[in-house]
């Protein structure tokens, strides 16, 4: 038997030597960044070699689902839900910062209280865009512009009244304007009729009151009864109204 062949410390040393051989020096010296268009791949022999970089099939699938006619530099539109949306949350979602978002939409503050109903958001690569939400935001902005135009045409109407006319006509501007004009003409006609009746009644009562005052001055109190006094009170009430 050779010396040390069966000793325990020899066997442990051999085992440690075998385990130390599992470390790959080539892997430890692998460059952190491959050249452009190349990537490192480990061969069957355990060595690293440079190969042409292949496209990720998942990325190709995601790219194919995007609209080819869509402008990558265009701004996104987001319809603000004031119940759940926050300024910080939108910045994280669209990978932007508060200052850019505020400058683009002309509002200030640490919340969305002063923000418009539809926010413009700079497009960023890698941002997950909800197409349905963007479409709703575009429709909301279009309706807001129609409402502004409608109120400019009928300044006597409030925002709520204008929105009611547009909602009733599914935001058909011409139909809503026609309905508003018809209602205004009817109101003006009705007011004119009531005003004429009121003025006529007041004038008649005023004439009778004037005759009553003139009769009192001339000493004709006997000809003037209590009914005339009541008539004067009615005339004065009409004047107040």
Rounded average pLDDT per 10-residue block, the chain, 241 residues? 54 48 50 72 74 57 45 66 84 85 88 85 62 65 85 90 89 90 86 57 56 53 48 49 46
Q: Where are the alpha helices (DSSP H) in 77-158?
A: 87-93, 98-105, 131-153
Give pLDDT, residue 209: 55
Q: What is the pLDDT of residue 21?
A: 46
The helix (H) or strand (E) run that includes residue 48 is strand 48-52
- In this prediction the pTM is 0.34
CA-only gyration radius of the chain, Å: 43
CA distances from 225 to 174, 210, 212, 231, 232 (A): 61, 14, 9, 10, 11
Structure confidence at residue 239 (pLDDT): 47
Strand partners, 41: 49
């Amino acid at each position: 038997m050779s010396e040390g062949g069966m000793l325990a410390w020899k066997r442990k040393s051999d085992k440690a030597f075998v385990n130390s051989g599992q470390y790959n020096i080539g892997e430890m010296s692998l460059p952190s960044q491959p050249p452009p268009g190349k990537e490192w791949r480990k061969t069957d022999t355990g060595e690293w070699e440079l190969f042409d970089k292949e496209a990720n099939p998942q990325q190709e699938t995601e790219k194919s689902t995007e609209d080819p006619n869509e402008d990558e530099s265009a701004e996104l539109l987001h319809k603000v839900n004031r119940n759940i949306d926050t300024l910080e949350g939108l910045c994280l979602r669209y990978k932007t910062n508060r200052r850019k978002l505020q400058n683009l939409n002309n509002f200030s503050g640490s919340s969305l209280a002063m923000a418009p109903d539809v926010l413009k958001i700079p497009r960023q690569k890698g941002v997950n865009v909800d197409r349905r939400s963007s479409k709703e935001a575009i429709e909301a902005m279009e309706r807001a512009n129609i409402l502004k135009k409608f109120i400019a045409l009928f300044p006597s109407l409030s925002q709520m009244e204008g929105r009611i006319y547009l909602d009733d006509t599914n935001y058909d501007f011409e139909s809503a304007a026609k309905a508003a004009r018809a209602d205004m003409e009817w109101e003006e006609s009705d007011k004119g009729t009531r005003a004429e009746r009121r003025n006529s009644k007041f004038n008649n009562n005023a004439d009778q009151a004037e005759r009553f005052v003139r009769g009192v001055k001339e000493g004709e109190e006997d000809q003037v009864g209590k009914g005339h006094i009541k008539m004067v009170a009615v005339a004065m009430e009409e004047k107040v109204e």
